[in-house]
Amino acid sequence: MELAGLSTDQAPPISAPLRFFLTAPLFAILAGILILLSDSATLFSRYSIESIAITHAIAIGFFGFVMLGALMQMLPVLAGVKLYKVKTITLYSHTMLVFGVLFMIYGLYFSQSTINLLAAILLVIGFLILLIPMLIALRDVNNFSPTVKAINTSLIFAIISISIGGYLLFGYATQTMSYTHFILANIHSVWAIFGFVGILIIGVAFQVIPMFYVAPRFKPFCKQWVVYIISVGLVVWAFLNIYYPEYAYIAKTLISLFFFAFGTAVWVKLNNRRRPISDVTVWYWRIASVFIGIGFFAWLFNSFLDDEYIVVISIIIGGGFILSIMIGMLYKIVPFLIWFHLNARGYMNIPTMNEMTNKKILIIQFTLYLLSLFGFILACFYPAFLIYSALSFILSMILLEYSLIKAVLVYAKTIKTKPDFDMSAFNMKV
């Protein structure tokens, strides 16, 4: 058993996850600005350079950053995993990823081969120096709960899809794109979004929903099998996609069915939760579960429509499902981390979590975000909506960043004062 996981210095330094959490909304703002500057016709073509660049500003810059921060924070608590030199590695990884995404966007927009090449290297290394140690550390865990299993599976999909992504970007850099490029691009995007992000969210939801909202637990069947079935579905889908694309819908049906079941389960659990409190984090879970339902059915039916609506579906799944859950969770994680680290340093009179954020701003942020989501979906059919949706999105992400910074400032302000009770005598390294 890993005793280190429960020792006094089990939590990573606060700078490690916060670095990632605070950067995420900035990339979303950048994505919003790029949408604003783009022509709607090119945006709604999946393989246009602009849509690839903007998608990655969100997928890496937001999803990737939030997940890395969350994994770093969760692994010690959920699995007793202690990451080696986490502070230093995080600093390197974060820097490489920030420049990686920026170079990738610049390189794609301006067709700069060297910059693209550099971006591919930075992104792959930036991700892998964190993800591979996490995967290795998980091998020593004895008590494999369904959540830890899901994290483990998600890390495998992450490492493969990121490596494929690096190869694809390398292809852009060297202008060596073949037919395989498009097949790999399909596998890369489906495995990254459903395998890496989707499975991680499912695993975390098993823990978070019953715990934070005192909701009924997920059924053992759900916890034991959903992740397994989706993973098998994703592998079978990749195989069919390469050799028998006309039958790929069979695997898609399986994947969609189980994501749909998960979305419904989330909705039902929230209905039966024991905590009466209904805050924006609950609303975010709610809209996510609705968009899971719509998104996966649309994804499935789209196979019979020659993937004509893939961009709308990406907005529904990426925005409605994934981004919603992540924003909601950030509102819980960041204030809690600040409280936790201040308390461990011996401060007793810390503002409560609710005092760290402004509830009204959270509601405005939620409304603007929801408007932008519907706006983007409408814009796929009526391009006039694009500009307003982009503005609403940018504004909502500025408010998200503002709320997170406001909470971090509480931390900065408090540590300038003397702790009420000096814990250094107990050698508390937190």
Partner 1 sequence: MSTIKEYLTADHRHCDELFASMEDVANKSLKNAKEITQKFIDASERHFQREERVMFAEFEQKTGMTQGPTAMMRHEHEQMRGLMKQLLEAIDEDNKDRFFGTTETLMILLQQHNMKEEQMLYTMAQQHLSADSDKIVDMMDSMIVE
Interface positions with partner 1 (CB under 8 A)? 1-3, 5-8, 10, 77-80, 142-143, 145, 207, 211-212, 214, 274-277, 332, 336, 339-340, 343-344, 348, 351-355, 426, 428
d(CA 288, CA 264): 10
First-last CA distance in the chain = 22
Phi-psi label, residue 427: left if phi above 0, alpha if psi -120 to 50, beta otherwise: left
* Minimum CB–partner distance for residue 216 and partner 1 (Å): 11
Query: For partner 1, which is the closer residue by CB, 2 or 239?
Result: 2
* Minimum CB–partner distance for residue 279 and partner 1 (Å): 9
Q: Could you tell me which of 223, 56, 231, 225 has the C-alpha nearest to residue 157?
A: 231
Taking only Cα atoms into account, the Rg of the chain, rounded to an integer number of angstroms, comes to 21
* Minimum CB–partner distance for residue 230 and partner 1 (Å): 23
Query: For partner 1, which is the closer residue by CB, 35 or 342?
Result: 342
Q: Are 13 and 69 in contact (CB under 8 A)?
A: no
* Minimum CB–partner distance for residue 425 and partner 1 (Å): 13
* Minimum CB–partner distance for residue 245 and partner 1 (Å): 42
Query: For partner 1, which is the closer residue by CB, 186 or 403?
Result: 403
Q: Are 266 and 291 in contact (CB under 8 A)?
A: no
Q: Are 10 and 278 in contact (CB under 8 A)?
A: no
Query: For partner 1, which is the closer residue by CB, 89 or 353?
Result: 353
* Minimum CB–partner distance for residue 206 and partner 1 (Å): 12
The two tokens of residue 365 are: 């942020």
Query: For partner 1, which is the closer residue by CB, 170 or 212?
Result: 212
| Residue with token string 């004895």 | 142
d(CA 327, CA 185): 27
Query: For partner 1, which is the closer residue by CB, 309 or 340?
Result: 340
d(CA 104, CA 377): 26
Q: Could you tell me which of 285, 288, 375 has the C-alpha nearest to residue 331?
A: 285
Amino acid at 261: A
Query: For partner 1, which is the closer residue by CB, 415 or 428?
Result: 428
Phi-psi label, residue 80: left if phi above 0, alpha if psi -120 to 50, beta otherwise: left
* Minimum CB–partner distance for residue 405 and partner 1 (Å): 19
d(CA 71, CA 200): 9
* Minimum CB–partner distance for residue 48 and partner 1 (Å): 42
* Minimum CB–partner distance for residue 17 and partner 1 (Å): 14
Query: For partner 1, which is the closer residue by CB, 382 or 426?
Result: 426
Query: For partner 1, which is the closer residue by CB, 55 or 343?
Result: 343
Q: Are 318 and 377 in contact (CB under 8 A)?
A: no
The two tokens of residue 58 are: 């969100």
